[in-house]
Structure 1
Amino acid sequence: MSVEVELEESVNYTPIQRMRHSAAHVMAEAVQEIFPDAKFAIGPAIEDGFYYDFDLPRALTPEDLPEIEQRMRRIIGERYPFLRDRWPREKALEYFGNKGQIYKVEIIENLPDDEVGIYQQGNFLDLCRGPHVENTGQIGRVQVWPVATAHSRRAER
């Protein structure tokens, strides 16, 4: 237990960065509800918001954004707790491999540790070192904007 606390506190996020990073996880959950076969890479907080890098079976359209936003608002309203766990590397590789999450598998394979951080909120489980807000209700209002991807793991392949 003390190891988990030390690991989480070693990531130096401000409260707004925690909120933004948590919002990225909520967006990923919303996208996964719409596109069950979505492949997720990373979703960090950035200076003016957050993003999540993912592959979808088709390109997002402007019409998709209100639906993603609506689902995010529902998830935020549920006040799901962010639950933290540590998994052995092999368990994480098996889980994300079985889910077809090729980018998560690639990330895990490149991590030096024998254990990896896992976070869950609602129905979404993700590879993550954290930290997050306590629950989705602490995220507040969100707005989804279209962004052109300048760099992605898919483009590297």
Structure 2
Amino acid sequence: MFEQENYEHSDLYKLRHTAAHVLAQAVLELYPQAKLGIGPPIADGFYYDFDLGVDGNGRSHSFHPDDLPKLEKRMRQIIAEKHPLVYAEVSADEVRQRLADQPYKLELIDELAEKGEQISLYQHDSFVDLCRGPHVADTGKIPADGLKLMSIAGAYWRGDEKRPQLQRIYGTAWPNKKALKAHLAMLEEAKKRDHRLIGRELEIFILDEDIGPGLPLWLPNGNILREELEKLANEMEDKVDYVRVATPHIAKESLYLQSGHLPYYEDEMYPVMERDGSKYYLKPMNCPFHHKIYASKPRSYRDLP
């Protein structure tokens, strides 16, 4: 939609950022026990993460889709009240006092203080949030008819699956009702072309949570498509005298040390496997193998691609 740098300085970005704060205020008013995570603008809207705590049996409270209309209604009331957004630079001690009941915010404050970074708050009405901005001048600048809460999802705090799972509410905000309707229509069209739905309906592939995201199981129809695509790729490669080889899926540690890849990519590679005193890695790239093939016999510079 926008280049990221331009988007972050746009009026739409400010509008959505403020909408996230308005959502957080509405949640705190309707669910006073809620703890706040973060709430940034994103490419086509905004989100905010919440921890609603647990019930008497230790089960996490969670939002339900029926909660979204109630939150939207309160958000529109806050928008109509036209509360100014007030920016303040504060000390770590002051912000800790003002957000003392928000443990996730306190974690962020401690990190900012440790780095020696400036700490700032934004406040509108009774709602205060740790934030650098930018925002619109007042909540009334958010078009109430250009706002919609979209969905609820789970999200681990700081993206770490070992940390608590929070409740994320996604929303979108646009300059007017017409822009919102156009966006919603686009989403409906996109659903019709969703590869996950098409894959299942046409029996091309299926996805399974026990296998992992983005790891399809190709069904007979899908395998035909794969084979036809591979055939087309081979035909195109043959036209430009491309020569194919095949290499193992694992190799000794020494290969990646020799190529220089291991020191740079080890953190992104699969864990080492040890066998008969040697260390092996699942290959993250083909080039070290191809180098070995090229070096396997004397060659002329004319053999270079």
Give TM-score scaled by structure 2 length: 0.45
- Which structure 2 residues correspond to residues 1-157 of structure 1 after superposition, within 5 A? 12-57=8-53, 58-97=61-100, 100-111=101-112, 112-113=115-116, 115-141=118-144, 142-153=147-158, 155-157=161-163
Which has the higher Rg, Structure 1 or Structure 2? Answer: 2
**Partners of 1:113 and 1:35 in 2: how far apart?**
34
Q: Which amino acid aligns with 1:77?
A: A
**1:73–1:27 CA distance, 2 compared to 1 (3 A):** same
Which structure has more relative contact order (CA 8 Å, sep 6+)? It is 1
**Partners of 2:155 and 2:117 in 1: how far apart?**
32
Question: Which secondary structure state, in structure 2, belongs to the residue aligned with residue 36 of structure 1?
Answer: coil
Q: Could you give the per-residue CA deviations for residues 48-106 of structure 1, whole angstroms, max 9, x where no partner exists?
A: 10001111132101221111000000000001000111110111122212xx2000000
1:156 to partner: Cα distance: 4.0
Equivalent residue, structure 2, for 1:3: none
- How many residue pairs get aligned? The number is 145
**Partners of 1:65 and 1:155 in 2: how far apart?**
26
Question: Which secondary structure state, in structure 2, belongs to the residue aligned with residue 144 of structure 1?
Answer: strand
Percent identical residues: 43
**Partners of 2:35 and 2:63 in 1: how far apart?**
14
**Partners of 1:13 and 1:44 in 2: how far apart?**
14
Q: Which moved more, 1:72-81 or 1:51-60?
A: 51-60
**Partners of 1:81 and 1:46 in 2: how far apart?**
23
Question: Which secondary structure state, in structure 2, belongs to the residue aligned with residue 24 of structure 1?
Answer: helix
Give TM-score scaled by structure 1 length: 0.85
Name structure 1 gaps, 5 residues minimum.
Answer: 1-11
**Partners of 2:161 and 2:81 in 1: how far apart?**
35
**Partners of 1:113 and 1:139 in 2: how far apart?**
34
**Partners of 2:71 and 2:50 in 1: how far apart?**
14
**Partners of 1:20 and 1:79 in 2: how far apart?**
15
**Partners of 1:152 and 1:106 in 2: how far apart?**
11
Q: Which moved more, 1:79-88 or 1:108-117?
A: 108-117
Q: Which amino acid aligns with 2:109?
A: I
Equivalent residue, structure 1, for 2:210: none
Q: Which moved more, 1:21-30 or 1:35-44?
A: 35-44
The RMSD of aligned alpha carbons is 1.8
Name structure 2 gaps, 5 residues minimum.
Answer: 1-7, 54-60, 164-305
Asked whether the 8 Å contact 2:14–2:136 carries over to 1, the reply is yes
